[in-house]
Structure 1
Amino acid sequence: MGVMALGTYWLASNTPSFIGGPETQRPATHDPDYFMRDFSVKTFEPNGRLKSEVFGTEARHFPDTDTLEIDNPRIRSYDENGSLTIATGRRAISNGDGSEVQLIGDAVVVRDAPPGTETPHMEIRSEFLHVFVNTERVKTHLPVTLIRGNDEFHGDSMDYDNLDRIMGLQGRVRGRLVPTPKP
């Protein structure tokens, strides 16, 4: 009986406890926790209208920074008037909620002319564009080209606010304005 009691005591004291014990967490590493290949992700407004669509050849999610890296991204976004904006690049990095996207390498943002308005087609080109989706801003610290209708502007850096329609070009800025012909 004593041997059984000692054996039970030894077993109970050497068995790991699952309740109330210290939790051991793995140190966060910058390794992807999931991949997507040849994918398309759509987001919709509460009324069911398509808000945006993201295409890519491959995407990797990194849990330590909650970022998504996308190869060959193509992002289509519609505003409340139905105007289409398309953003492309060789690579994109998005934060967890998709409110910020960094386009890297041959970055291009194109906004089509809204139907029924005189607002011209607009295109922004750079090696790096930082897009703030919720506030509709685009920034870059690298040389940039803006094409608006037939007009073309170049600058060393840029800050564009789509809501206020204000474009700030810094550094060496040059432009070419083409007059519109009268009918």
Structure 2
Amino acid sequence: MKAQITIDRARIWIAVAILGFIALGSFWIENAFRQRGVEDARKSMIRLEPDYYVEKFNFIRLSNSSKANYHLTGEKLIHLPRTDQYEITNPRINSFADMRPPVTIIAGRAIVDQKSDTVHPKREHDVVRLYDNVLVERPDGENSHAMRLETDYLTLTPDDDLITSDHQVTLFTEGIEAHAVGMVANNSTQHLELLSKVRARLKKRGS
């Protein structure tokens, strides 16, 4: 009888020991995954941090004919390594070309995607996205009238010399004030098209 009781107790203790090992193993695995998650999150946050910045910068983009066609300035430029983008505070862009008036674009902020084969999807062109109180101005030219465009978002594609937006825009030109949603402007041809919900009114002379 005592032998039977001893055997039963031994079995109980063996079962308790096995449960203890399972519990410790589960705790170790959970703790390991938790630590790994914390490290991955920390690394992810590190990658989100800018890796360098430049203050009061000037950048000139040259055309194929080696003539300056875009002059970009700003208060501060930072590089975002995770997305390989540049964020610019208070950007100012001046576009120059022969035989046409210059165009000036200012905004509160800009994000620049440079053409690249190392990102996915591959970037075929430079793209500048402008946000917050965006203003585009062009003076009178030989074949064009002065123009001012106001919006909260624009996309500039320097390679194609295009300025586009799918947001609300307000256009002032030649005594006309026009409001629309969406626009496409070709800086090379000086052609601008308002896309939808267009409303316009003629301004009185001197107003």
TM-score (structure 1 length as normaliser)? 0.71
Aligned partner of 1:102: which letter? Answer: R
CA distance in 2, matches of 1:48, 1:161: 21
- When residues 118 and 106 of structure 1 are mapped into structure 2, their CA distance, relative to the original with a 3 A threshold, is same
Aligned partner of 2:182: which letter? Answer: S
CA distance in 1, matches of 2:188, 2:65: 23
* Aligned-residue offset at 1:92: 0.6
1:132-177 deviations in Å (ceiling 9; x for gaps): 2222222222211011232221012323334452403312x21124
For 1:110, the equivalent position in structure 2 comes to 137
Which SS does the other structure have where 2:49 is aligned?
coil
Q: How does 1:1-183 map to 2 (within 5 A)?
A: 29-45=47-63, 48-81=66-99, 83-97=101-115, 99-114=126-141, 117-163=142-188, 165-171=191-197, 173-177=198-202
Larger radius of gyration: 2
Which SS does the other structure have where 1:29 is aligned?
helix
For 1:22, the equivalent position in structure 2 comes to none
RMSD of equivalent CA atoms: 2.6
1:49-97 deviations in Å (ceiling 9; x for gaps): 3222111111111233221100000011112425311111000111124
Which SS does the other structure have where 2:54 is aligned?
strand
Tell me the number of residue pairs that the alignment of Structure 1 and Structure 2 aligns: 152
Which SS does the other structure have where 2:140 is aligned?
coil
For 1:19, the equivalent position in structure 2 comes to none
* Aligned-residue offset at 1:130: 1.3
CA distance in 2, matches of 1:42, 1:74: 12
Moved >6 Å (runs of 4+): none
* Runs of at least 5 residues in structure 1 that lack an aligned partner in the other structure: 1-25
CA contact (8 A) 2:148 2:173 kept: yes
CA distance in 2, matches of 1:102, 1:55: 15
Aligned partner of 2:163: which letter? Answer: V
